[in-house]
Amino acid sequence: MEITKEEIQRYPIGRFPRPAEYSVLAVAQAIAMIESLPRKLWANVSNLSPIDWKRQYRPASWSVRQVANHIVDANINNYTRFKFALTEENPTIKPYQEDRWADLADAKHGDIRPSLDLLNALHAKWVQCLRTLGEADYHRTFFHPQSNRAFPLYEAVSLYAWHGEHHLAQIRRAIEGLA
């Protein structure tokens, strides 16, 4: 299968490689990625001009500001999904309309600093939790009604680590003018 330009623009690091089973190494790598995400995001956006914040990673995509805010919004949801899975038996999580969240005025035009501060604090708390978990905890699940399946936390931690890197790559593409 040939990879199209649109596929590269949309998924600059490729699609999520779903893990088949639990791996201590994969979980540790995912935690390290989650831990480093706030620093990486800050490094990529701290010196942007007003024009740069409006850049898009592909035609008709979210702006850099919207992607940065989406990372925060998504990870607030992801953090709570972990907490529910750790305290309930296969809870059904509430999906959210991420496109609608990205269209809200704060995501499109607001000051990014509170979002970056929130991401930093959220990830510090989330990583603290993740590092206390054992293998049995990572086999706990939550049910995602849109996917119609249960997600084990070992898969979710890898997905959310990938998700951050995926959006960082989109931001880099936009800033570099690769859209």
| H-only helix segments in 11-130 | 24-45, 50-54, 64-87, 98-102, 105-109, 113-130
At residue 6, the pLDDT reads 85
Check whether 1 has a pLDDT greater than 70. no
Strand partners, 149: 144
Q: Is the model's pLDDT at 2 over the cut of 80?
A: no
Among candidate residues 48, 70, 85, 53, the one with its CA nearest the CA of residue 119: 70
CATH of 25-175, one of 3.60.110.10, 3.40.50.620, 1.10.287.130, 1.20.120.450: 1.20.120.450
Residue 7 has pLDDT above 90, yes or no: no
What are the residue boundaries of the structural domains of the chain, listed by start? 25-175
Please give the pLDDT value at position 8: 86
In a 13 Å sphere around the CA of 120, the CA atoms on its Cβ side amount to 11
CB 98 within 8 A of CB 74: yes
Mean pLDDT to the nearest integer, 27-39: 98
Give CA separation, 171 vs 44, 106, 140, 148, 149, in Å: 8, 18, 33, 30, 30
**pLDDT number for residue 79:** 98
| Structural element, H or E, at residue 144 | strand 141-144
Span 50-106, pLDDT tens digits: 999 999 999 999 999 999 999 999 999 999 999 999 999 999 999 999 999 999 999
- 8 A C-beta contact, residue 24 and residue 135: yes
* Tens digits of residue pLDDT in 97-140: 999 999 999 999 999 999 999 999 999 999 999 999 999 999 99
The mean pLDDT of the chain is 95
Radius of gyration of the chain (CA): 16
